[in-house]
C-alpha cells in the first residue's frame, strides 16, 4: 500500500484559500453546512456517505435537524493530504443553495 503524503503548511494554506467556508482545525479541515430541515440534512449526509465510499476516504460527520459538520483528515498521512481537499471540493459540489 502506498503511503499518502501529508501536505506542508504552505500547501495547506493555498488549498484552503480555494475552498469557501472551510477552516483548519489542527490536523483536519472543517465546514458546517446549514439546511432548511431534517430531510435536506439527511439527504446531504447520505450523499456525502456515497462520495466517501466511492473515494475510500471517510470524513467525520456530526449532524442534527438543520446542520451538518464535516471534518476531513488523512489518518494514514498523519495530517492533511491532497485527498482531504479533493473530498472537500466534491462535498461542496453537492451543496449549491
Domain residue extents for the chain: 25-94
The model's pLDDT over 36-65, given as tens digits with 9 standing for 90+, comes to 999 999 999 999 999 999 999 999 999 999
26, pLDDT greater than 60: yes
- Rounded-to-integer distance, Cα 88 and Cα 91, Å: 5
Give the model's pLDDT for residue 75: 86
Ramachandran angles phi, psi of 24, nearest 5°: -90, 135
- Rounded-to-integer distance, Cα 74 and Cα 76, Å: 5
CATH of domain 25-94: 3.30.1360.20
Give the model's pLDDT for residue 2: 57
Q: Of 20, 24, 22, whose CA–CA distance to 7 is shortest? A: 24
1, pLDDT greater than 60: no
Q: Which residue has the cell 502506498?
A: 2
Give the model's pLDDT for residue 97: 60
User: Is the full-model pTM beyond 0.85?
Assistant: yes
Amino acid at each position: 500500500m502506498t503511503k499518502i503524503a501529508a501536505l506542508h503548511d504552505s500547501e495547506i494554506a493555498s488549498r484552503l484559500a480555494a475552498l469557501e467556508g472551510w477552516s483548519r482545525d489542527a490536523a483536519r479541515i472543517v465546514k458546517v453546512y446549514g439546511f432548511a430541515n431534517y430531510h435536506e440534512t439527511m439527504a446531504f449526509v447520505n450523499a456525502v456517505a456515497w462520495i466517501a465510499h466511492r473515494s475510500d476516504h471517510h470524513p467525520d460527520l456530526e449532524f442534527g435537524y438543520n446542520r451538518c459538520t464535516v471534518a476531513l483528515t488523512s489518518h494514514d498521512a498523519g495530517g492533511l493530504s491532497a485527498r482531504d481537499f479533493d473530498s472537500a471540493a466534491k462535498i461542496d459540489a453537492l451543496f449549491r443553495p
